[in-house]
């Protein structure tokens, strides 16, 4: 009787191990990056986290350098030279004039960024000792940043604290009127980092 009981137990155990391994495999398959998109840094391929999958910026939306215009020094942080599409510059100018009337001063510390610049940011962070998996959590992969379009701006200070600022409150209330949207808003799931300082001028006719 005991013997049969042990055999029975073993069968149960084997069955349990089998189900458990299948479960692990399916979790592995799901988290094992369904995303096959990758970037290349120093000839090495780095796969992208799921959240960037399918979000590559259409190259048609990436302007030539000659199409970009410099924004006024009065709107830039320190002596940064910041370039945007003419329509982004115009919308930003108009919005900053309106903000001034409410005693809010919009200062930009990033506008157009090329793919190679974006790659350099990642490379530098990695050289300073941060693992790729960490860097890619807060730096967009080259080819995936809205800054490639000349339509995105980062307001000062471009850090988490911005969400508590009067400037942010003003933008939440007024930016839409000038065509700007907050791309990476407060995400309650915590999957996408909140970038309250990053605003994007939607192309005309884009209603979403
Ligand atoms: Zn940004």
Q: What is the CATH number of the domain that holds 91?
A: 3.30.1380.10
- Domain membership of residue 25 (yes or no) is no
Residues in the chain: 208
Is the preceding omega at residue 60 within 30 degrees of 0, hence cis?
Answer: no
Residue 98: predicted pLDDT: 98
For the chain, percent of residues with pLDDT exceeding 70 = 82
**Residue-level pLDDT at 170:** 98
DSSP-assigned letters across all residues of 124-193 = HHHHTT--HHHHHHHSPPTT--GGGGT-EEEESS-SGGGGGSHHHHHHHHHGGGGTEEESS---TTSSS-
Q: Is residue 167 part of a domain?
A: yes
Q: Which of 190, 193, 200, 197 is nearest to 159 (CA)?
A: 197
Q: What is the pLDDT of residues 40-59, one digit of tens each?
A: 998 999 999 988 899 999 99
Give residue-wise pLDDT tens across range 78-121: 989 999 999 999 999 999 999 999 999 999 999 999 999 999 99
Taking the centre of ligand 1 as the mean of its atom positions, its distance from the CA of residue 14, in whole angstroms, is 52
- Contact in structure between 46 and 39 (CB atoms under 8 Å): yes
Cα 121 to ligand 1 centroid, rounded to whole Å = 13
Query: Which residues, at least 6 apart from 34, have a Cβ–Cβ distance to it below 8 Å?
Result: 50, 53
Whose structure tokens read 């701006």?
A: 153
Q: What is the mean pLDDT of residues 24-30?
A: 52
CA separation (Å) from 68 to 63, 139, 141, 147, 167?
7, 23, 22, 12, 26
Ligand 1 centroid to residue 154 C-alpha, Å: 5
Q: Give the total number of structural domains in the chain.
A: 1
Token pair belonging to 179: 């065509």
- Establish if 27 belongs to a structural domain: no
Residue 205 is part of which domain span? 63-112+150-208
| Residue 205 belongs to a domain | yes
- Residue 43 CA, ligand 1 centroid: distance in Å: 26
Asked, for residue 143, whether it belongs to a domain, the answer is no
Query: Is the predicted pLDDT of residue 207 greater than 70, yes or no?
Result: no
Predicted confidence (pLDDT) at residue 76 exceeds the cutoff of 70: yes
Query: Nearest Cα to 170, choosing from 105, 116, 124?
Result: 105
Residue 138 belongs to some domain of the structure: no
Residue 145 lies in a domain: no
Instruction: Give domain status of residue 137, yes or no.
Output: no
The whole-number average pLDDT for the span 75-79 is 91
Which residues fall inside 5 Å of ion ligand 1, going by CB?
154, 198
CA of 15 to the centre of ligand 1 (A): 51
User: Among 178, 152, 142, 150, which residue's Cα sits nearest to residue 83?
Assistant: 150
| pLDDT of 2 strictly over 70 | no
pLDDT at 105: 97
How many A from CA of 24 to the centre of ligand 1? 37
């Amino acid at each position: 009787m005991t013997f049969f009981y042990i055999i029975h137990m073993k069968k149960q155990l084997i069955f349990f191990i089998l189900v458990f391994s299948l479960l692990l495999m399916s979790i592995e398959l799901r988290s094992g990056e369904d995303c096959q998109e990758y970037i290349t840094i120093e000839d090495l391929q780095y796969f992208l986290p799921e959240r960037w999958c399918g979000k590559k910026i259409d190259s048609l939306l990436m302007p030539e350098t000659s199409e970009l215009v410099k924004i006024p020094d009065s709107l830039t942080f320190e002596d940064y030279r910041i370039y945007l599409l003419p329509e982004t510059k115009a919308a930003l100018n108009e919005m900053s004039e309106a903000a001034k009337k409410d005693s809010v001063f919009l200062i930009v510390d990033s506008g157009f960024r090329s793919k190679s610049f974006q790659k350099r940011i990642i490379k530098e962070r990695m050289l300073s000792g941060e693992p790729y998996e960490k860097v890619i959590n807060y730096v967009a992969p080259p080819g995936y940043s809205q800054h490639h379009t000349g339509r995105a701006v980062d307001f000062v200070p471009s850090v988490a604290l911005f969400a508590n600022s009067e400037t942010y409150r003003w933008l939440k209330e007024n930016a839409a009127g000038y065509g700007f949207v907050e791309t990476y808003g407060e995400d309650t799931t915590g999957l996408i980092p909140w970038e309250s300082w990053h605003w994007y001028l939607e192309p005309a006719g884009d209603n979403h």
